[in-house]
């Protein structure tokens, strides 16, 4: 567990949160400060921060996260209208939580990417 990591605490049930989906690898919650009508976070159970530490053993984790994102997009009804997946990495991206996560954004026409 990452020390004082909010997503590890949610994963461990120490901070209550509405979990929309979970499997052996990852879980999905709604972002507390949504940037779009649908704004989900796909979070691996295991604490992991930077993609430059992505080794072959973690390829399955990343694949499972994308699959969960696609399933949740279907459940939220935004597949046809479209959605965006984004991952912040490091200071310039504005990353606030140093536990890897996929943002799933949709439900309206999204602005241009920075
Ligand atoms: P980042 O900027 O690190 O890519 O995104 C972290 C996201 O986590 C932010 O969009 C922020 O609103 C969200 N977030 C931070 N703390 C919590 C929390 O306790 N619960 C939920 N559901 N989302 C959180
Ligand atoms: Zn963590």
Q: Is 6 in the pocket of ligand 1 (CB under 6 A)?
A: yes
Q: Is 95 in the pocket of ligand 1 (CB under 6 A)?
A: yes
Print pLDDT tens along the chain (114 aa). 666 999 999 999 999 999 999 999 999 999 999 999 999 999 999 999 999 999 999 999 999 999 999 999 999 999 999 999 999 999 999 999 999 999 999 999 999 998
What pLDDT was estimated at residue 114? 80
* Nearest to 21, CA basis, from 66, 68, 61, 65: 68
- Domain segments of the chain as ranges: 6-106
DSSP sequence for the chain? --TT-HHHHHHTTSS----SEE-SSEEEEE-SS-SSSEEEEEEESS----GGG--GGGHHHHHHHHHHHHHHHHHHT-TTT-EEEE---SGGGT---SS--EEEEESSPPPPP-
Among 97, 101, 105, name the best residue to mutate to test ligand 1's pocket (greatest count of ligand atoms within 8 A of Cβ).
97
What pLDDT was estimated at residue 110? 97
Bridge partners (DSSP) listed for residue 13: none
Neighbours of ion ligand 2 (CB under 5 A): 2, 5, 7-8, 47, 99
Protein residue with its CA nearest to atom 8 in ligand 1: 31
What pLDDT was estimated at residue 1? 64
Distance (Å, whole) CA 69 – CA 57: 20
Active-site annotation, residues: 101
Q: Which ligand is nearest to the CA of 99?
A: 2
Q: What is the CATH number of domain 6-106?
A: 3.30.428.10
Give the angle subtended at the CA of 96 by the CAs of 68 and 92, to the nearest 5°.
105
Q: Which ligand is nearest to the CA of 105?
A: 1
């Amino acid at each position: 567990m990452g020390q004082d990591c909010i997503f590890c605490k949610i994963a461990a049930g120490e901070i209550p949160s509405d979990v929309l989906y979970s499997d052996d690898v990852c879980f999905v919650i709604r972002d507390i400060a949504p940037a779009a009508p649908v704004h989900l976070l796909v979070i691996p159970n295991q604490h992991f921060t930077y993609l430059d530490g992505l080794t072959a053993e973690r390829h399955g984790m990343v694949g499972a996260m994308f699959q969960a994102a696609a399933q949740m997009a279907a459940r939220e009804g935004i597949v046809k209208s479209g959605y965006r997946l984004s991952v912040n990495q490091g200071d310039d991206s504005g990353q606030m939580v140093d536990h890897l996560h996929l943002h799933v954004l949709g439900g309206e026409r999204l602005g241009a990417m920075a």
